[in-house]
Structure 1
Amino acid sequence: MSQHSEELGVLVLSNSSNWIAEEHVYPIFRVPSPLRSIAPPLFTPQVLAMGPLHSPAWNPNIPPSLHSTYTEMDHYKLLSWQKIFKEDVPEQEAPFLHFLHQHKDIMLASYGGRIEKEYDAFALENHFVNRLALDACFIAALLHSLFQENFPYLKEKMAMEEIIMVSRVCTTAHIFPIYSRTIGRPVQKAILQDLLLVENQVPLIAVKQAVKIESKCRSDEEAERILELYVAALAHRVLPFSRSRRTVLSSVKNASSGAHHLMDMMYSIVCMHSDPSSEGVRYQNVSKDPHVMDMPGANRIHVSGVKFHGHWGSLNELSFSNGRLFLPKIHVSDDTERYFRNLIAYETCFKTERLDLVSYLHFMDFLIDTPADVGLLVESKIITEAIGSDAKVAEMWNSLCRNTMCVFSPKYKAVADSIQSYCRSPWRMMWAEFYRSKLSKPWLVASLLSAAALLIMTLLILWYTILLYHHETS
């Protein structure tokens, strides 16, 4: 052993009594570099910085271009604060700040001690609560305005008691005229995208309190129900899965219980189980071998007789029976990759006992190998696309699972195994092989048809010759 190694061994032994404390991942965190390095801009707020991680006042590493954009949005945060506390409920300003100061430790815990390590006590005492107070009020006003826009549509699926409750709260969204008239539509869209970034979250306890004051709720319970309706409007607007408004309203009620922030609620909505008893189950004894399976692409299993059907539901609502594969419909747009990458980071780093999202993405990655596979799923009304071409959709799906382990929840593994067993039927394998070798290319099909036509013509000529010979000899 070298002298350096001996010294290192002595150092380790001498410090064996001072074990390094186990690190935990908390609800609001910076995305690890293996995931961030794939597409850094997709984890960075475009226009709206929420909380301290991307705030120019807290983070000196913000690029100048983003620094000016974030600072400009701070103007709208202050404006929403003034609308709430200077015009409507001025007497609630001090109690609101007092409430946040009382719960400062809880909110700091959402960041897992990172804020205390990176910033001094003065900043924590004087700026942390004020920053979250402004952000929470802006989120409350923004969600209120979004709900007002979608209320005519959501009203059709709301229970009568919910409609009555909504009619009692403040019906005028404070930021609505400003948000809709002075901010361009591209910026409005970017704001909604920024609300669902894993590094850009505000503890839900602050948002609930801001909603209670902004919407003039009578109690904490009413504020929680109003927040659920607001989040339902947000989910209906931004999430890529096609779901009925009634389904969104019912799933968001299950998502609010124990949620840490808005993105946590969105994750629960996206991953809602059709069987509520299986919600949050820890998946055990699931193989994490990257080569656990090799399911063929959509076109290959389609040739084997599998029919694809799309339906409205969450990503856990899939099934396979009698050669029919039912998958949730999904709308793929230019912001779908951003949502999925942040949800991947949240599940793989914080919801580590869950395999819902990763299972779905790997399953779809197996199905989508080529643009032709995307075309088949579009034709089956499983995918609707708004990013230009089947090739771009295929490229997106094939890159989403990079730096993630190929894992499957029991439900996805059961469906995948059923598909493989179905496609391994001897006659289906023979037909699939014949199709790939003889019918998969246009010129082969043309050659086969030409040969068939020539054979038929030859048989007809032979038959006509035989008839003519018998006629002449009779």
Structure 2
Amino acid sequence: MVAVFNKELLSWYLITLKLKETLELGIPSSPNSGIQLTEFPEKQLQKLPQEPSLKITINENGEILQDEGTSTESEWVISIKEKLEQARGDDVTSSWDKLSIFKIPHYLRDSSSDDNAYVPQVVSLGPYHHGKRFLRQMDRHKWRSLTHVLKRTNHHIGLYLDSMKEVEEKARSCYEGTISLSCNEFVEMLVLDGCFVLELFRGATEGFAQLGYSRNDPVFAMRGLMHSIQRDMIMLENQLPLFVLDRLLGIQLGNPHRKGLVANLALRFFDPLMPTDEPLTKSDRYKLESSLRNKTITTTFDPLSDQGGLHCLDVFRRSLLRRGPQPEPRVWIKRWSHTHRVADKRRQQLIHCVTELKEAGIKFKKRKTDRFWNITFKDGVLKMPRLLIHDGTKSLFLNLIAFEQCHLDCSNDITSYVIFMDNLINSPADVGYLHYHGIIEHWLGSDAEVADLFNKLCQEVVFDINDSYLSPLSEAVNRYYNHRWNTWCASLRHNYFHNPWAIISFVAAVVLLLLTSAQTYYNVYGYYRPAQ
């Protein structure tokens, strides 16, 4: 057996074998043969196709045992064709407009110092984190919740499975990329995770004891793991489509086509995560409980009915921005804001920090409203609603920002607010000043942690500052800040009117200066014009 690595050697070897066969058999070479034996070897080489060097293994009989170059090239072409066919199929079958539950972009995940802000630590919902080993412990509690639902409603599990099979394709289209779960596995996941979520929602509103759970239940009780569960369930990668939850709850209540109730249950459940101090009112809570008890009601309490919702994170965001900011369109913004810019420290500056604004005479006051984004500026006074900051605020804002970055139909209002606060807060002293005026209330370790939180929330975020609803307000503040007279007056108040004794000293100095000036004037006047 001979291994040949060169085309010329291969050609000579084949010619020699052909000559040997001809001489031994006494058969003249065919005139139609591709190789004419009467010609010199150099001319035979010229007639051979000019292919690149190939590695070919040939046995003693002249048979090709392996053509690695040809085999590799064929596999490569086939692989490219398969990829092109797959791309054509993806382009035809994918519904990009239905995509609503996204994977966190790598540039946001890499820029965050805390990956746990995006990854659930207790419970997985949906396919992205389904089956992960450290989240499997909650699966047995999911099955417990499903048994409670079936026992309480007297339904057969097949009713829920068949209903989810009808919407399987629609539900899959909500997720990004290819979902590796089979049809049965995906449907099982929708039923199991969906019923688990609904039990938590209903328990937070009606009470878990009313649903048949023990007061010492490790999961279905408003204590223990509940805060961690709420934090996981508000993450972007850990969502279920809202229409899936609506259908499952409708089956439980005897009306599969009922909509709107899940959105309000979600708001009640996630109420402790709200960054405001205005909880759900007693009237709204009573209407919500009545809607659940009276299954014959056709119209339910639904303040978000005119807006709809994609999933729980979207519902939560819409609730935060109800009657939200709607800035007037500006022609010059449309002309110059075609491209998005990265909101780094050099290009995201909307407004100066608290310390600098304070030195320019701008005052800060707390505004009485439950809309944390509703900020106003008038006559040198910046009024801001109170913002509550807890250990779940970072994860909440990061996932809201990620959703606004991924979903094209979303406004950037949450991102605008966070960047505005990042501009205001440059140091722990800025946080302390806002806390003193009742604008920021936090339960973190120190003011430095709050400052660090805001300074890291919007790293590498794609954002056009001119499209911010706070851009007109920021321009008004900056105009006031740049007026020198305001800075001088602020300096005068800071240095001479910061306490009563300073005011008395200033007035005394002014009176003394006036008296000295008068005395000097009369002395000079008497010298030049003495009395007659």
TM-score (norm 2): 0.65
CA deviation string 1:284-341 (max 9, x = no partner): 5574555364521123223313332233333442222222223232110111001011
2:145 corresponds, among 62, 65, 80, to: 80
The sequence identity of aligned pairs, in percent, is 21
Q: How many angstroms does 1:202 deviate by? A: 1.0
Once the 2 structures are TM-superposed, how far is the Cα of residue 178 of structure 1 from its aligned partner? 6.0
The answer on 1:235 being equivalent to 2:308 is no
- Select 2:117's aligned residue among 42, 47, 65: 42
The answer (yes or no) to whether the contact 1:231–1:252 under 8 Å persists in 2 is no
CA distance in 2, matches of 1:114, 1:142: 29
Residues 313-371 of structure 1 show CA distances to partners (whole Å, capped at 9, x for unaligned) of 33442222222223232110111001011111111111465111111011111111111
Corresponding position of 2:448:
391
Q: Residues 454, 258 of structure 1: CA spacing in aligned structure 2 closer, same or farther, 3 A cutoff?
A: closer
Report the Cα offset of residue 112 of structure 1.
3.7
8 A Cα contact 1:329 1:381, kept in partner: yes
Describe the shift of the 1:240–1:423 C-alpha distance in structure 2 as closer, same or farther (beyond 3 A): same
Maintained 8 Å contact 2:203/2:220: no
Contact 1:387-1:393 within 8 A present in 2 as well: yes
In the superposition, relative to structure 1, how do residues 277 and 412 fare at CA in structure 2: closer, same or farther (>3 Å)?
Answer: closer
Q: Aligned-pair distance for 1:101? A: 0.1
The structure-2 alpha-carbon separation of the partners of 1:353 and 1:197, relative to structure 1 and needing over 3 Å to count, comes to closer
Q: Does 1:370 align with 2:420?
A: no
1:318 maps to which of 357, 362, 375: 375
Confirm whether residue 253 of structure 1 aligns to residue 289 of structure 2. Answer: no
Contact 2:246 2:260 in 1 (8 A): no
Question: Is the partner of 2:240 in helix, strand or coil?
Answer: coil
Q: 1:352 to 1:400 in 2, by over 3 A?
A: farther
Q: Equivalent residue of 1:307, what SS?
A: strand
- Displacement of 1:73: 0.7
User: Equivalent residue for 1:161?
Assistant: none
* Residue 173 (1) aligns with residue 211 (2): yes
Structure 1: gaps spanning 5 or more residues: 1-10, 57-61, 150-169, 463-474
Paired residues for 1:148-227 under 5 Å: 148-149=206-207, 172-175=210-213, 177=215, 179=217, 185-214=223-252, 216-218=253-255, 220-221=257-258, 224-227=259-262
Match of 1:243, as an amino acid?
Answer: E
Tell me the distance in 2 between the aligned counterparts of 1:286 and 1:81.
Answer: 54
- Which of 250, 266, 284 pairs up with 2:316? 266
Cα distance in 2, alignment partners of residues 228 and 248 from structure 1: 17
Contact kept in structure 1, 2:368 and 2:385, CA below 8 Å: yes
Mapping for residues 427-442 of structure 1, pairs under 5 Å: 427-432=485-490
Match of 1:111 among 147, 154, 175: 175
Q: Which residue of 1 aligns with 2:190?
A: 132
- Indicate the RMSD between aligned Cα atoms, in angstroms: 4.1
Q: CA-to-partner distance for each residue in 1:240-297, whole Å, 9 max, x for gaps?
A: 223352499599622774312111111211222346899xxxx955745553645211
* Distance of aligned partners of 1:403 and 1:324 in 2 relative to their CA distance in 1, 3 Å threshold: same
Structure 1 218/245 Cα, relative in aligned 2: closer, same or farther at 3 Å? Answer: same
Shift of 1:388: 1.8
Corresponding position of 2:354: 298
Question: Where does residue 106 of structure 2 map in the other structure?
Answer: 33
Residue 96 of structure 1 pairs with residue 160 of structure 2? yes
- Tell me if structure 1 keeps the 8 A contact 2:260–2:302: no
| 2:102 and 2:406 in contact (8 A); partners too | no
Q: Is the 8 A contact 1:248 1:269 kept in 2?
A: no
- SS of residue in 1 equivalent to 2:367: strand
Q: In 1, are the aligned partners of 2:261 and 2:302 still within 8 Å (CA)?
A: no
Any conservation in 2 of the 1:229–1:249 contact (CA below 8 Å)? no
1:189 & 1:176 partners in 2: Cα distance?
Answer: 19
Report how far residue 220 of structure 1 moved.
Answer: 3.0
TM-score in terms of structure 1 length: 0.73
Where do residues 3-14 of structure 1 align in structure 2 (5 Å cutoff)?
none
- Report the Cα distance in structure 2 between the residues aligned to 1:29 and 1:276, rounded to whole angstroms: 26
For 1:160, the equivalent position in structure 2 comes to: none
Q: Which has the higher contact order (CA 8 A, sep 6+)?
A: 1
Question: What SS does the aligned partner of 1:253 have?
Answer: coil
CA contact 2:320–2:371 (8 Å) conserved in 1: yes
Question: Which one has the largest radius of gyration?
Answer: 2
Could you say which structure has the higher helix fraction?
1
Quick one: distance in 2 between partners of 1:332 and 1:292?
Answer: 23
CA distance in 1 between counterparts of 2:464 and 2:213 reads: 44
Give the deviation of 1:93 after TM superposition: 2.7
Change (3 A) 1:110 1:176: farther
Please give the alpha-carbon distance, in whole angstroms, between the structure 2 residues aligned to 1:182 and 1:265.
23
- Match 2:438 to one of 381, 386, 389: 381
Q: Which runs of 5+ in 2 are unaligned?
A: 1-76, 286-300, 517-532
